[in-house]
């Protein structure tokens, strides 16, 4: 889609504003927390200058910095994945969870957390060291990957994206039902642990986890940016895209692979984080008033990161000793924003045709 020449400068401004917001959110997220640390001390710690309170150093370097970096990866990854899904399915309601990936990851996690009811399960789980770590990530990744494999295999046979959309939702439905069944037959404390996971959290991602998450998200984002042109073409419908010379099957596989990597890895490490994926693409489309993915992709990246950082600041409840589940904050904050955007420009369908 051609970009109106007059809008170019405006769009650059928006991108800069969003980048600024990300920077601000990043600093705020590191500065705020349940333990109050003066800003100069935070800056000194970040600049690796000596400071006489080792606990502050630990909090900033080992807790808040990894968390803020995770927020960056989660926000940009989920937003881009949501944007790709909405365009691929030409459906404003599509999001990262739509292919059943989140549900698949949830099934994997449920399998380790709830299966400990049986003797074999509990032994295997203790060997894996499950509780908040690699075992959990492995399970979630396996779940998401199984669903992704299924969707990819089906996408080769199913030509219609609407059918694919329905397939994804049905997979989500089935996996959700299996998890419910599992919960029904599990002890309350196991269910509680699983419930905590479903709330989503950035706090468990540190060190080698962060390295893996960041690399997978980077690969996913690179694939997504590479598919910007195909996404633009797909926006006009598959037949039109085909007539423009696009190999629809191949680009569709690329897009599904990219979104699966993004949503699957993020869900595996952080649990299902609601709303960023659906809300941010709408926000950016409304802000930039364009349908060009060469602009929308970087803008969604930035907006997603900024929103997630902001939500994490709120989830920290500065001054309180507790934290709120991130997923709750993103939904509480995200839904009204999307409503506002959608109600302001009621012709949202125009973005998809």
Partner 1 sequence: MSRPPFPSGRAGGVPAYLVARCGLLLLGLLGLTAPAAFSQPSSPPKARPTVAAPAKGRTTVTYAKGFTIAYTGRCKVITILSPFEQKTTATRYLLVPRGTPRPAGYPDAHVIAIPIRSLVGLSSMHVALASFLGAEDVVVGLGNLQYASAPKVRQRIAEGKIYAVGQGKELNNEQLVARHPDLVMATGWPGENLTRFQTLAAAGVPVMINSEWVESTPLARAEWVKVLAVLLNKEDLVNQKFGQVAREYQRLAALGQKASPRPRVVVGMPFKDVWHVPDADSYMAQFLRDAGTTYAWNQSKAPQGSLALSFETVAPVALTADYWLHLSSTATKAEVLTQDARYAAFAPFQSGRLYNNNRRTNAEGSNDYWESGAVRPDLVLADLLRILHPGLLPAGALHYYQQLK
The footprint of partner 1 (CB under 8 A) covers 33-35, 54-55, 58-59, 62-64, 116-119, 122-123, 126, 129, 131-135, 184-185, 187-189, 192-193, 196-197, 201-204, 206-208, 271, 316, 321-323
Cα distance between residue 265 and residue 262, in whole Å? 6
Label residues 180-208 b or e (16+ Cβ within 10 Å = b).
Answer: eebbeebeeebbebbeebbebbbbbbeee
User: CB-wise, 320 or 350, nearer to partner 1?
Assistant: 320
User: What are the φ/ψ torsions at residue 103 (nearest 5 degrees)?
Assistant: -65, -40
User: CB-wise, 204 or 220, nearer to partner 1?
Assistant: 204
The minimum distance between CB 73 and partner 1, in angstroms, equals: 16
Sign of CA dihedral 159, 162, 164, 170: negative
The minimum distance between CB 294 and partner 1, in angstroms, equals: 37
* Tokens 């939500």 belong to residue: 311
Sign of CA dihedral 294, 300, 303, 308: negative
User: CB-wise, 97 or 116, nearer to partner 1?
Assistant: 116
SS3 content of the chain, % helix, strand, coil (to 5): 80, 0, 20
The minimum distance between CB 96 and partner 1, in angstroms, equals: 20
Sign of CA dihedral 160, 162, 163, 167: positive
Whether the CB-CB separation of 255 and 310 falls below 8 Å is answered with no
User: CB-wise, 9 or 185, nearer to partner 1?
Assistant: 185
The minimum distance between CB 59 and partner 1, in angstroms, equals: 5
User: CB-wise, 170 or 181, nearer to partner 1?
Assistant: 181
Question: Could you give the angle at the alpha carbon of 73 between the alpha carbons of 68 and 78, nearest 5°?
Answer: 125
User: CB-wise, 169 or 210, nearer to partner 1?
Assistant: 210
Q: Within 10 Å of residue 87's Cβ, how many Cβ atoms?
A: 24
């Amino acid at each position: 889609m051609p970009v109106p020449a007059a809008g170019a400068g405006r769009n650059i401004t928006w991108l800069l504003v969003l980048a600024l917001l990300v920077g601000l959110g990043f600093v705020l997220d590191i500065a705020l927390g349940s333990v109050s640390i003066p800003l100069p001390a935070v800056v000194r710690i970040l600049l690796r200058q000596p400071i006489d309170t080792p606990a502050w150093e630990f909090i900033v370097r080992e807790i808040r910095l990894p968390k803020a970096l995770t927020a960056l990866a989660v926000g940009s990854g989920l937003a881009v994945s949501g944007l790709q899904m909405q365009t691929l399915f030409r459906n404003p309601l599509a999001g990262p969870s739509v292919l059943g990936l989140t549900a698949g990851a949830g099934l994997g996690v449920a399998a380790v957390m709830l299966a400990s009811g049986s003797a074999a399960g509990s032994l295997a789980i203790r060997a894996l060291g499950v509780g908040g770590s690699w075992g959990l990530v492995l399970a979630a990744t396996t779940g998401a990957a199984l669903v992704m494999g299924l969707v990819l295999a089906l996408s080769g046979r199913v030509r219609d994206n609407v059918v694919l959309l329905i397939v994804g939702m049905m997979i989500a439905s089935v996996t959700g039902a299996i998890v419910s069944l599992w919960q029904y037959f599990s002890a309350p404390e196991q269910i509680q642990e699983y419930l905590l996971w479903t709330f989503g959290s950035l706090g468990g991602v540190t060190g080698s986890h962060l390295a893996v998450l960041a690399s997978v998200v980077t690969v996913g984002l690179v694939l997504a940016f590479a598919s910007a042109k195909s996404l633009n073409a797909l926006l006009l419908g598959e037949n039109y895209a085909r007539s423009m010379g696009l190999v629809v099957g191949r680009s569709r596989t690329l897009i599904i692979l990219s979104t699966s990597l993004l949503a699957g890895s993020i869900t595996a490490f952080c649990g299902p984080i609601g709303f960023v994926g659906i809300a941010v693409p709408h926000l950016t489309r409304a802000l930039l008033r364009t349908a060009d993915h060469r602009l929308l992709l970087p803008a969604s990246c930035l907006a997603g990161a900024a929103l997630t950082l902001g939500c994490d600041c709120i989830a920290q409840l500065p001054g309180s000793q507790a934290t709120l589940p991130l997923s709750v904050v993103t939904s509480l904050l995200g839904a009204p924003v999307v409503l506002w955007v959608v109600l302001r420009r009621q012709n949202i369908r125009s973005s998809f045709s």
